Amino acid sequence: MIGSATDWIILIVVALVVLGGAKKIPELAKSLGRAKGEFDKGKKEVEKELEQIEK
């Protein structure tokens, strides 16, 4: 059975290779990295705003 996070990651990578080809994986990883960076940036901004409101 697929239960752990590692199993899911392996399954997703295999599906991406089959459906999109190996050339798409670096592009996907790059866009996911950018998205995570933007998310973290937004999170920090919200934390700063909440900190200012508390003061």
Q: At residue 40, what are phi and psi to the nearest 5 degrees?
A: -65, -40
Whether the per-residue pLDDT at 29 is higher than 60: the answer is yes
Q: Summarize the confidence of residues 16-40 as an average pLDDT.
A: 85
**3-state SS class at 25:** helix
Instruction: Tell me which amino acid residue 35 is.
Output: A
Q: What is the pTM of this model?
A: 0.56
The residue-averaged pLDDT of 24-44 equals: 90
Share above pLDDT 90 across residues of the chain, in percent, rounded to a whole number: 38
Bigger pLDDT: 1 or 54?
Answer: 54
Structure tokens at 19: 């459906």
Q: For residues 24 and 15, give the distance between their C-alpha atoms in angstroms, rounded to a whole number.
A: 12
